[in-house]
Structure 1
Amino acid sequence: MSARASRPAILLGSFLAALLLTVGSVPAQTRPSDAKPEDYARWDSVREVYFPDREIEDGSAFLSLEAPYRAHDAALVPITMKASIPEDAGWSIRTLTLLIDGNPVPLAGKFHLHDDRKALEISTRVRVNEYTLIHAVAETSDGRLLSAERYVKAAGGCSAPAMKDPQQALARLGKMKLNLPQSVPADAPVTAQLLVSHPNHSGMQFDQISRTYVPPYFVRSIKVSYDGKPLMEVETDISLSEDPSLHFTFQPRGPGELDVRVTDSKDQVYTGDWQVTPEPAS
């Protein structure tokens, strides 16, 4: 091949090398096909805000993030984070952070776990403002950060109007519902769903009647305990959907009360409690 003929190939190789440097340390096999270099540039900015000067490793061997490729409703995008760690590993997961990179406030939830977690599953619903990468970042008991990511096509979720009538929403403000399996086994992981009635206004929604933006008003924290011992604390913000829903796993080691304390951005506190009676193993 002549030098003239090989020049385009050299230029192409240089371009591809530059592109790989642009997307940084994300392994090729885990890159969502539709993510662009600017998506990873934005991720670099987001990670520096929430994890300044810290290395984040590819956690795909232990951590997964499930989300629809194209969301049906950008204001109610289902997200599931799963982790599975070998029992003989000398570490566990202490904190799990869910970030919607393209949202005005990327933080959807920071989940602080109080028990030694080798396996976990947490699901919720979020707002997605534009086509974006979504990241789950786990902090381990030995101080490392592991990440998983998905690319989601959705837009307008943060400015989408509330689904409920404002008066109806206020009448049900702070009411909670807990869904548990019909049979709760003893000493085995149980998945619960917590539903909290709250408008979770983002501050970007426009009221067509008053012709003004609805002020932000959202759930700020959720604390869950069982039998008097803390299970999980969640820091949240406007990226969480209206009427927050939270699926989480816990392991009841005997009869006890599951208590929930929710605080919103106006410092209003709502509480709920449910008696749980596990069935003995057969």
Structure 2
Amino acid sequence: MFTFLIFSNGVVAKEVGVSTVEVFHDGKNIVNPAPETEQWRALKESLFPGKDVRTNAIDLIEISAPFRAADAAVVPITISSKIDQSRESYIRKLYLLIDRNPTPVAAIFTLSSEAGRADISTRVRLEEYTYVRAVAELNDGSLHMSYKYVRASGGCSAPAGKDQELALARLGRMKLRTEATPMLGKPSKAQVMISHPNFSGMQKDQLTQLYVPARFVRQIDVMQGDNLLLSAKLDFAVSENPNIRFFFVPKGENDNLKATAIDSTDKKFEKSLAVIASQPTAKNNF
């Protein structure tokens, strides 16, 4: 018996055995490794020992990634939640895992129940063709996973930017902004960006041919007033100049967001934003 999986990007997959998955993309049949990889089994035992992880949980969580990445050093990833964040039921953690990267735990996002939505977007490096996974941990402790197989390689060892001096001169410059006009009491999208080369330790200086020492953003915290809205523990798998899109719910006409980033040398960077939110437009019932 075959199992068919239909993803939001139009890719149709057919499970054909324990070791391969046949994928139909642009009218072509392509065989992927089966998602139950050796790397995933080791990750599951390390991160979630003794726990069940529900697979293909696209009714609750979905990960979007390109079928074939244009640039392995800058692969866009979006994790979309199918439930709203509420005190009764919410996603408290999102694990972004990359099976075949040198360090497969790319990011762990801790989320507030007051964020409105648990959607996260960022960009990552991929060193080999690999499964990229999102595991959602709910407040009841249950675990739910979605995954994509992405064709890209060499992203972690891709040469560092040509002008390292300029990159270091701009180190730590941050932007914190909202997208569109935030509405009071409604989930609103925001973005935090930081200028940082995020050296992986696997890249060579193009002039000296020596390896550039690793230095990357290891944590980003976003506060909404006195409450922790988002905490992201990051690895060098996150692309140069890290940026994260996330949601928050404006609570007052003059709300405040504050982002703090810390890199692997413990250098700290901060940025604040006064959020000017609008009242939702009332609908006329005529």
Which residue of 2 is the match for residue 281 of structure 1?
280
Which residue of 2 is the match for residue 145 of structure 1?
143
RMSD (Å) for aligned C-alpha atoms: 2.5
Distance 1:130 1:231, change over 3 A: same
Deviation string 1:52-78 (CA, Å, 9 cap, x unpaired) is: 232111222111000000000000000
Contact 1:94 1:116 in 2 (8 A): no
Q: Which structure 2 residue ranges, 5 or more long, are not aligned?
A: 1-14, 24-28, 282-286
Which residue of 2 is the match for residue 46 of structure 1?
43
Separation of aligned partners in 1, 2:165 and 2:111: 35
Separation of aligned partners in 2, 1:125 and 1:136: 14
**How much has 1:193 moved relative to structure 2?**
1.5
Contact 2:80 2:119 in 1 (8 A): yes
Greater helix content? 1
Please list, as runs of the form range in 1=range in 2, the aligned pairs for 1:1-282 lying within 5 A after superposition.
19-20=17-18, 34-37=31-34, 40-58=37-55, 59-85=57-83, 91-116=89-114, 119-163=117-161, 165-254=163-252, 255-282=254-281
Q: Which structure 1 residue ranges, 5 or more long, are not aligned?
A: 1-16
**Which protein shows a greater Rg?**
1
Contact 1:83 1:120 in 2 (8 A): yes
Q: Give me the TM-score of the superposition, normalised by structure 1.
A: 0.85
Separation of aligned partners in 2, 1:277 and 1:87: 22
Question: What is the identity, as a one-letter code, of the residue corresponding to 1:46?
Answer: L
Question: What is the identity, as a one-letter code, of the residue corresponding to 2:92?
Answer: R
Contact 2:189 2:245 in 1 (8 A): yes
Q: Give me the TM-score of the superposition, normalised by structure 2.
A: 0.84
**How much has 1:236 moved relative to structure 2?**
0.3
Separation of aligned partners in 1, 2:74 and 2:113: 29
Contact 2:114 2:229 in 1 (8 A): no
Contact 2:115 2:249 in 1 (8 A): no
Quick one: percent identity of the two aligned structures?
39
Contact 2:225 2:256 in 1 (8 A): yes
Q: For 2:119, what is the secondary structure of its paired residue?
A: strand
Contact 1:124 1:244 in 2 (8 A): yes
Count of matched residue positions in the alignment of Structure 1 and Structure 2: 259
